[in-house]
Structure 1
Amino acid sequence: MKTLQRSRAIIATGILGVIVSTYALYVEMAAESKPGYKALCDISEYASCSRVLTSEYSKGFGIIPKESALEVPNCIYGTLFYCFMIFLATFDHIGVIRLQLILAFAACTSSVYLGYLLAFVLRDVCVVCISTYFINGLLFWLVYKKYKSLMKKTK
């Protein structure tokens, strides 16, 4: 796969991430404002996106203090992350790709943390959340492939 194709795949994956994160924000806002709201991704009592997206871990990753201006929904952080990754994908400079690789790794690390909370603390299944974990993994893999491709060209 050529560098341009890899960049396009990163951009497409980033767009998918923005869409999923935007839907998560919609579900979170609707669930908080409308009592009894049932999202499309609320499959059962133990597979409820709206329950997960309104939990104490849904804002600031559950670690940012409640009074902080940084305590915003995780899906806003996700949307900003995906938009930044889309922007960075337009560059073929090795330094930019390294930054993308670090950011994608950080996203995967946060996915592991949030996945742990989802499975072992909340004991729930969130289709939207799990989708973002896969998107983050795919982004990391695509950026890694682009990085390896550019490294071959510089040798």
Structure 2
Amino acid sequence: MAAAPGLPIWERKVRVVLCIFGLFLSVYALHVELSRESNPDYMAMCDLGASVSCSKVFTSRWGRGFGLVQFFVAKDNPLNQPNSVLGIIFYTLQMGLGLPLSKKAALFLVLASWLSVAGSLYLASILVFVLGDFCIVCVSTYIVNFALLFTNLKRRRAIEGMKEKAG
């Protein structure tokens, strides 16, 4: 599919790569969390030491609903999903809404990206200051979220420029 005039040619390819990588990270995080819940002795590939353990992070209270949903509903409530499930939804929406050249879709992509970056900063601070852990999967996800924000800002600017030239 050819890029629309004014839209950076790299944008769609970068979006696909970032979303697929984000989906991979989210599915892996979900796998680790579910494996650890069913087998407390499970060791994930990303568990490299006492303070470098994604399993520890994913199974902490902040691994579900950002550690906040449980204040409003019971821990086992269907609304209190693992953060990785939210990631799967987020990256799927980013991929799907990145297809149309819609001003509304571009605005939604940017707003969702800002929300994901805010969530990344919140979870990164929990990772460092509360858990005292390093999670390579988490940090990789934060990088993907920042890169998607950059990509979405470029897309929105280009679409607004196309609409102004057409009008």
- After TM superposition, the score normalised by the length of structure 2 is 0.88
Deviation at 1:34, TM superposition (A): 1.1
Match of 2:15 among 6, 10, 13: 10
Deviation at 1:147, TM superposition (A): 1.2
1:39 aligns with 2:48: no
Match of 2:115 among 106, 111, 118: 106
Write the distance in 1 (CA, Å) between the matches of 2:10 and 2:97: 14
1:91 aligns with 2:96: no
Structure 1 residue runs of 4+, over 4 Å off?
none
Total equivalences in the alignment: 155
Any gaps of 5 or more consecutive residues in structure 1? none
- Which residue number in structure 1 is paired with residue 3 of structure 2? none
- Which residue number in structure 2 is paired with residue 54 of structure 1? 59
Write the distance in 1 (CA, Å) between the matches of 2:150 and 2:126: 24
1:21 counterpart SS class: helix
Deviation at 1:111, TM superposition (A): 0.3
Q: 2:7·2:159 contact (CA, 8 Å) conserved in 1?
A: no
Deviation at 1:7, TM superposition (A): 2.2
Q: What residue identity is the alignment partner of 1:14?
A: C
- Which residue number in structure 2 is paired with residue 77 of structure 1? 86
Assess, with a 3 A threshold, how the Cα gap between structure 1 residues 125 and 116 changes in structure 2: closer, same or farther: same
Q: 1:3·1:150 contact (CA, 8 Å) conserved in 2?
A: no
Assess, with a 3 A threshold, how the Cα gap between structure 1 residues 67 and 53 changes in structure 2: closer, same or farther: closer
Deviation at 1:68, TM superposition (A): 3.0
Instruction: Please provide the CA RMSD for this pair.
Output: 1.4
Any gaps of 5 or more consecutive residues in structure 2? 1-5
Write the distance in 2 (CA, Å) between the matches of 1:10 and 1:38: 32
Write the distance in 1 (CA, Å) between the matches of 2:33 and 2:77: 19
